[in-house]
Amino acid sequence: MPNQDILQQALEIARAQAGVRPMTAAEVATYVSEVAHALEATIEGDGAPAVPVMDPKRSIGESYVTCLECGKKFKVMTIRHLKTHGLTAKEYKAKWGLKKDVSLTAKGLVRMRRKKMQEMRLWERRGQNMD
């Protein structure tokens, strides 16, 4: 259980984050918990939590992907970010028990991209250019 100082710092960080982007009450509560645990682990000298900041199965959400190493949130978790933890995408997925074919992209973004590609119908245009 995080001490009061750490919890206060986590609340201040969450307040600042909520000022930058809209967050639901559940997101704020989860964020405060994640930040408090990360701060506590950092103060104890681990540098990063030895356990994931959240359940790996819930790390890929509708509007963001949470890095299980550091707790940061992304729409797309890039190879560049994973390199900061000394991991490849394959190693990251294996470490946290994610399926090999899972995308490290927010579900809403994947759905939006899929819809856009279906609307563009590029496979039909390619056939027309061949004629």
- Domains present along the chain, CATH in parentheses: 1-49 (no CATH), 52-131 (1.10.10.1550)
Binned at pLDDT 50, 70 and 90, residue 129 comes out as low
61 and 68 in contact (C-beta within 8 Å)? no
How far is residue 106's CA from residue 99's CA, in Å, rounded to a whole number? 15
**pLDDT (average), residues 45-55:** 63
Q: Which residues pair with 76 in a beta bridge?
A: 105
Percent of the chain with pLDDT strictly greater than 70: 87
Binned at pLDDT 50, 70 and 90, residue 20 comes out as confident
- Collect all residues with Cβ–Cβ distance below 8 Å to 42 and sequence separation of at least 6: 48
Q: Is the pLDDT of residue 44 over 70?
A: no
Strands 73-74 and 65-66, sheet pairing: antiparallel
pTM assigned to the model: 0.55
Q: What is the pLDDT of residue 49?
A: 47
How far is residue 45's CA from residue 41's CA, in Å, rounded to a whole number? 7
The sign of the torsion formed by the CA atoms of 85, 88, 92, 94 equals negative
Q: What is the pLDDT of residue 127?
A: 63
Q: What is the pLDDT of residue 28?
A: 84
